[in-house]
């Protein structure tokens, strides 16, 4: 979990919130949502899951949000999770994901060493996703990338995924 008590961690979290705010609509699943800090920005129903995914089953969502989450999950498990999203995302819904780019690895690890970022959080990174990785994830799980952008000088990125049938 993010130690959002660290000033820079909180800054990064709020920056991601500003990116996702305009895309939040309807019922929102906040996947890996830490302590539910995104909830105040959601006007529809809100569900946050961290390790126990069972509350998300047998529900449908217009927006699924993963902010700085997939890098903490084994790649094969990310594919499984996105296949599960196929069943719970509405036909016209979106997935908004953000994740650090490979370019950020050295900087994040350096900032963690000097205690500006939470060291355990950074050490938990399993994979630094690039655009091709995200495109592959989308294609192999039945989604397409509707929008992709890098931000924070290319150290972070976000993608908006939609069903391939829309």
pTM for the full model?
0.92
Query: In the prediction, which pLDDT does 15 show?
Result: 84
Element (H, E) at 76: helix 75-88
pLDDT bracket for residue 5 (50, 70, 90): low
Write down how long the chain is: 166
Q: Is the pLDDT confidence value at 4 over 50?
A: no
Residue spans of the domains in the chain: they are: 7-163
CATH superfamily of the 7-163 domain = Vaccinia Virus protein VP39 (3.40.50.150)
Comparing 13-22, 48-57, 71-80, the range with the smallest average pLDDT is 13-22
CA distances from 103 to 10, 41, 141 (A): 21, 30, 25
Q: Which residues, including other chains, have CB under 8 Å from residue 52's CB and lie 6 or more apart?
A: none
Q: State yes or no: pLDDT of 1 exceeds 70.
A: no
Give the model confidence (pLDDT) of 77-114 as tens digits.
999 999 999 999 999 999 999 999 999 999 999 999 99
For residue 16, give the nearest of 37, 44, 43 by alpha carbon.
37
128 within 8 A of 101, measured Cβ to Cβ: yes
């Amino acid at each position: 979990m993010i130690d959002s008590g660290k000033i820079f961690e909180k800054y990064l979290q709020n920056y991601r919130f500003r990116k996702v705010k305009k895309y939040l609509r309807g019922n929102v699943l906040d996947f890996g949502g830490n302590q539910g800090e995104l909830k105040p920005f959601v006007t529809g129903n809100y569900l946050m899951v961290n390790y126990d995914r069972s509350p998300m089953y047998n529900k449908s969502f217009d927006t699924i949000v993963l902010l700085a989450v997939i890098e903490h999950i084994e790649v094969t498990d990310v594919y499984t999770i996105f296949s599960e999203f196929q069943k719970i995302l509405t036909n016209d819904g979106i997935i908004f994901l953000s994740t650090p780019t490979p370019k950020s690895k050295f900087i994040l690890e350096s900032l963690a060493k000097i205690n500006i970022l939470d060291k355990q959080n950074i050490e938990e990174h399993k994979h630094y996703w690039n655009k091709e990785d995200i495109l592959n994830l989308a294609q192999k799980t039945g989604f397409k990338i509707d929008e992709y952008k890098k931000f924070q000088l290319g150290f972070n990125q976000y993608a908006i995924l939609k069903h391939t049938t829309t």
